[in-house]
């Protein structure tokens, strides 16, 4: 992240194929940011979606859209930083850390609250490989081992520091395809 190479050999949790590499998640993103504070005063029956932890999932990255909140922002409200785009991954950073939600294509204008982080991946890795990886037992252990404070919180720099095994792009696509085939088979049982 700072352009300086450093040895991470003592941090490598498991072996990966020779064609893969290890990277910190922070090197694979455009931005990681947390949501806006004190937006309850903007709650409204109409306006933009305001996604909260209750909209995230524990064992998938499907958004739960059954309990939605909307906000109507005044013109001077800062919302650019937390305005969501297709492919952004939401990550709960307080309470039940590590719940996820992936913003689908053609999603309406939406923002996130302060208990949620937004991870915007680099364009070359905007597929479902990283979201699926962040559901793994390995990733869940990272969340549990690095929480801070009384309320179970996970800092943005802790998200950036997660070590990710990165296969070549074609392998990422193959892995995602296989995962989705298995999920579809289970769903039809």
Residue 142's pLDDT band, with cuts at 50, 70 and 90, is confident
Q: How far apart are CA 99 and CA 92, in angstroms?
A: 5
Q: Euclidean distance between the first and final Cα of the chain, in Å?
A: 44
Task: For 76-86, write each residue's pLDDT tens digit.
Answer: 777 778 899 99
pLDDT at 147 (0 to 100)? 58
Confidence (pTM): 0.89
CA atoms within 13 A of residue 71's CA, in its CB half-sphere: 24
Radius of gyration of the chain, Cα coordinates, nearest whole angstrom: 17
Residue 115 confidence (pLDDT) above 80: yes
What average pLDDT does range 129-133 have in this prediction? 97
Task: Output 66-70 pairs: Cβ under 8 A, ≥24 positions apart.
Answer: 69/43, 70/43, 70/44, 70/45, 70/46
pLDDT at 91 (0 to 100)? 95
Contact 1, 159 (CB under 8 A): no
pLDDT at 120 (0 to 100)? 97
Q: Could you tell me where the DSSP H helices lie in the chain?
A: 129-133, 137-145, 156-160, 169-187
Q: Mean pLDDT in the chain?
A: 89
What average pLDDT does range 87-105 have in this prediction? 93
Task: For 43-70, write each residue's pLDDT tens digit.
Answer: 999 999 999 999 999 999 999 999 999 9
Q: Which two tokens stand for residue 85?
A: 């785009």
Task: For 7-36, write each residue's pLDDT tens digit.
Answer: 777 788 899 999 999 999 999 999 999 988
């Amino acid at each position: 992240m700072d352009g300086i190479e450093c040895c991470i050999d003592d941090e490598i949790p498991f072996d990966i194929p020779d064609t893969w590499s290890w990277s910190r998640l922070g090197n694979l993103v455009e931005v990681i940011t947390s949501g806006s504070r004190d937006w309850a005063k903007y709650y409204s029956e109409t306006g933009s979606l305001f996604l909260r932890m209750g909209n995230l999932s524990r064992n998938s990255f499907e958004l739960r859209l059954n309990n939605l909140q909307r906000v109507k922002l005044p013109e001077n409200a800062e919302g650019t930083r937390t305005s969501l785009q297709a492919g952004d991954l939401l990550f709960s950073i307080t309470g039940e850390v590590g719940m996820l939600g992936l913003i689908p294509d053609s999603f309406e204008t939406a923002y996130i609250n302060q208990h949620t982080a937004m991870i915007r991946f680099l364009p070359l890795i905007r597929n479902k490989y990283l979201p699926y990886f962040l559901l793994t037992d390995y990733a869940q252990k990272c969340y549990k081992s690095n929480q801070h404070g009384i309320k179970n919180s996970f800092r943005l720099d802790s998200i950036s520091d997660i070590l990710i095994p990165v296969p070549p792009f074609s392998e990422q696509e193959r892995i995602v395809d296989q995962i989705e085939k298995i999920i579809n088979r289970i769903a039809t049982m």
